[in-house]
Amino acid sequence: MAFSKAETHNYTHSTIANYSDLLNSYNRNGIFATNEWKNETNQTEQGALILNVRNSIVYSDRDNAVSFEQTPGQLFNFTIQNCLIKYSNTSEAGFDFDTNTSVTQSLKNQDPLFVNYFAAQMNLRVKQNSPAIGKGSTTVAATVPTDIANVSRTSNPTIGAYQYF
């Protein structure tokens, strides 16, 4: 039996970074979103999808870190607000970054300048000259007033999981 239900996914002050020389055969997207899937009995299901990405970094060592595949006739709404996104083009990402009204106050293809993104030393804090510093929405930051290390981000919020101090 097939059924549809609305799914809402919220990513707020997240850092989604995908780097790996070992996974060359994989696309290494940070976010892949679709409103069609296989259920536990391998039947195709479709449903509404609402995706909100706010004050976040989605980055990869590939040309594109985000991919959306919308099923025609199904609700697929997204918001990308005050984010830093690695984006290649509409055909790969599934949306137009530059003219889509669902993308606001966001940066495209600017290196977030992580302290160290290599697996052995992974430190996804940003360096002092990162374009992510001060680019977050204070309204969004107020909903998550401290970062992953318990540092306040209520003023001049850095996008991503870590507040630059």
Please state the domain extents for the chain: 7-143
pLDDT: which is higher, 29 or 148: 148
Check whether 54 has a pLDDT greater than 90.
yes
Question: Stretch 122-140: mean pLDDT, rounded?
Answer: 93
Whether 2 shows a pLDDT value over 70: the answer reads no
Structure tokens at 75: 């609700």
On the question of pLDDT at 70 being above 70, the answer is yes
Q: Could you give the CA distance from residue 145 to residue 55 in angstroms, rounded to a whole number? A: 12
Cα torsion angle, 124, 127, 129, 134, sign? positive
Q: Environment class of residue 106 by beta-carbon count within 10 Å: exposed (0-12), middle (13-18) or buried (19+)?
A: buried
> Predicted confidence band at 45 (pLDDT cuts at 50, 70, 90)?
confident
pLDDT of residue 74 exceeding 70, the answer is yes
Compute the mean pLDDT over every residue in the chain, rounded to the nearest whole number: 88
In angstroms, rounded to a whole number, what is the distance separating the alpha carbons of residues 118 and 107? 23
Does residue 4 carry a pLDDT above 60? no
Query: 21-30, 56-65, 77-86, 103-112: lowest mean pLDDT where?
Result: 21-30
In the chain, pLDDT over 70 holds for what percent of residues?
A: 88
The model's pTM is 0.88
